[in-house]
Structure 1
Amino acid sequence: MVLAVVYFVLYQALSLAMVPFVSLAGEPGSASYVLIFFTVPILLGGLLLVAFGASVGWLRSLFARQSLGGRGWMWIAIVVVLLFNVLHLLSIDYGTAGIEYVLTWLLTGLFIGFAEEVLTRGYVVKIMREAGHREIAVALVSAGTFALLHAGNLLGGQSLLATGIQLVYTFFFGILMYLAMRVTRTLLAPVLLHASTDPSIFMHAQYPADGAIGAVANPGNFAVIIVGAVLVFFIRGRIAQGARSTS
């Protein structure tokens, strides 16, 4: 929690540092807006996390093949997230959005996926496992930490109701990201899944295309909540003492 709070404070400070450049940001639907208010802060936040990991010697083990695998049913998490991400990407008006806006969001999504997954499915999971906790606790704490990071959107003027709904969504999205990591045994899986999630959702919301695909994609967040709420009850396992010592 201390690690998450420190990261949150530093990230918010980096976001506030972008305020003097607001005149260069343009409209919310522009590439420059995304670059200044999303890309740069999350890139710098990711670099801070890399610096921290390097300072304590955790980076290599973080991206190594994990000793604890998963069950076949855990692939459901990957399929659900990937399905709605593809549907969102197929229901964007790319002609109106423009290539610069799309490429900027795709790059930003990669930074978001890396930073947020390294912190929550990387460092938080590593700390919890090495403390000897069961995997259900590991999943809940990593997902809870991930969700609470988004409470900071209240500082940006987002309503309490919208933030509350977002916290519920991000918690269960975090559960699915944990399952993706378990079944693939690598942190890269949730990083890439997460990297495709934010751009697809934000671009679809900003530049929705007409058609039936968009209507099917819209309930995606609720599907994530429902699937996550069901699958969390099946999480089992625990890292053996020998594996923790080796790590």
Structure 2
Amino acid sequence: MGGIDATGGIDDGGTPGPAAPWQDFWERGGVGRAVLAAAVYLALYLGGSLVVGAWFAHAVDPDDLFATPAGVFVALALPLLVGAVVLVVFVASLRWFPVIFGPQPAGRGWMWVAPALVLAPVLLRALGVDYGAYAAGVVATTLFAGLLVGFVEEVLCRGVVVGLLRRGGSSEWVVMIVSSVIFAFLHSSNALSGMAPATVALTVVFTFGFGVAMYLTLRVTGNLVWPILLHGLFDPMMFLATGGIDETSTVAPTSPLLALAGPTNLLFIALGLITLFLARAVNVRPTGRDTPRPAAA
């Protein structure tokens, strides 16, 4: 009885077949391939955003992306849908879904600070946002777009990139730092939209710390689903609280809960800096419950 052909599975004799060149290239992993995957995705995403913007510019208010549900969908959700399709096709072509969504190297107790740090501002903003200030349907569309952000950015950075770094033999501390640097690099593209350089720099520093928090969440929860969900809630609540994307509101918060949520961004920066010195606390033990599962599918 025949099996999977020479694209990396089982041949007619029931023995493993050679991997296709495409799969073999990515299975080698390493920092270079992780950067390449992220850079290619970013280029495709930005290109898709330009096309979407050119076709549906009439639906978006350039002065207020959150003015209408259609504006949110076109400006935020539609490019992310394109990016999600690209990622799904890429991961499926390599047969990595079982690994990316499989068990992770066990985390340690202190790592629970990361999901707690993400969840706290989510709850504060969820309770403090003035939902009545938005047109009907904007909040729901923003939440949908946020879940797309969580799926795309986590599958790419904590799924594909982390997997490539592990395949290349990197320690978990290096995996955490490099994947978070790549995550931050992706957000430097905000400069192309005309964002002020100082704001871009602050965004990059913040997203590095947030990337560290997502990596630690991945480790301590043991599954990529949880970073996707937490990230997918964090971003839309921030959008609704500030009225923008990767922006800091210049208007005083109308709710004391929003005022409390704002300074938590500094805690992500602190977390990112502190973990630079925690290599032994992040790396998995050579034996025992912290031993990571094999990287190969």
Q: Describe how 1:93-112 pairs up with structure 2 within 5 A.
A: 93-112=130-149
| Match in the other structure for 1:236 | 282
Q: Report the alpha carbon displacement of residue 238 of structure 1 after superposing the two structures with TM.
A: 4.2
User: Pick from 217, 230, 237: which aligns with 2:261?
Assistant: 217
Contact 2:176/2:215, CA 8 A, preserved across alignment? yes
Question: 2:193 aligned with 1:156, yes or no?
Answer: yes
Deviation at 1:245, TM superposition (A): 6.0
TM-score normalised by the chain length of structure 2: 0.78
Q: Which amino acid aligns with 1:14?
A: G
Question: Which residue number corresponds to residue 45 of structure 1?
Answer: 83
- Selected match of 1:2 from 20, 24, 36: 36
Distance 1:81 1:197 in 2: 7
C-alpha distance in 2 between matches for 1:103 and 1:133? 40
Aligned to 1:118: 155
Equivalent residue for 1:23? 58
- Structure 1 residues 64 and 150, CA gap change in structure 2 (3 angstroms): same
Question: Contact 1:132 / 1:239 at 8 angstroms: preserved in 2?
Answer: no
Matches within 5 A, 1:82-231: 82-206=119-243, 210-231=254-275
Contact 1:129/1:244 (<8 A) preserved: no
Instruction: Report the residue type matching 1:32 in the other structure.
Output: A
Shift of 1:224: 1.6
Give structure 1 regions of 4+ aligned residues with deviation exceeding 6 angstroms.
Answer: 239-242
Matched, 1:14 2:51: no
Code of the residue aligned with 1:133 in structure 2: it is: S
Distance 2:172 2:99 in 1: 18
Higher relative contact order (CA 8 A, sep 6+): 1
Aligned residue pairs total 246
Conserved? CA contact 1:135–1:238, under 8 Å: yes
- Give the superposed CA RMSD: 1.9
Tell me, in whole angstroms, the C-alpha distance in 2 between the residues paired with 1:130 and 1:206: 40
Deviation at 1:175, TM superposition (A): 0.3
The unaligned stretches of length 5 or more in structure 1 are: none
Shift of 1:246: 5.2
SS state of the match for residue 213, structure 2?
A: helix
CA 1:242–1:230: 2 relative to 1, 3 Å: closer
The percent of aligned pairs where both chains have the same amino acid is 36
Looking at structure 1, the residues matched to 259 and 73 of structure 2 have their Cα atoms a distance apart, in angstroms, of: 29
Asked whether the equivalents of residues 130 and 244 of structure 1 are also in contact (C-alpha less than 8 Å), the reply is no
Once the 2 structures are TM-superposed, how far is the Cα of residue 219 of structure 1 from its aligned partner? Answer: 1.0
1:191-236 Cα deviation digits (max 9, x unpaired): 1111011101110002986231121112121122123322443342
Cα separation, 2, equivalents of 1:169 and 1:6: 23
Work out which of the two has the higher radius of gyration on C-alpha atoms and give 1 or 2: 2
- In the alignment, the residues of structure 2 paired with residue 238 and residue 131 of structure 1 have an alpha-carbon distance, to the nearest angstrom, of 16
1:72·1:183 contact (CA, 8 Å) conserved in 2? yes
- TM-score, normalised to structure 1's length? 0.93
Aligned partner letter, 1:237: N
Higher mean C-alpha deviation, range 225-234 or range 178-187:
225-234
Deviation of 1:24 (Å):
1.5
CA distance in 2, matches of 1:231, 1:25: 40
**SS of the counterpart of 1:244?**
coil
| Residue 82 of structure 1: how far off its partner (Å) | 0.4
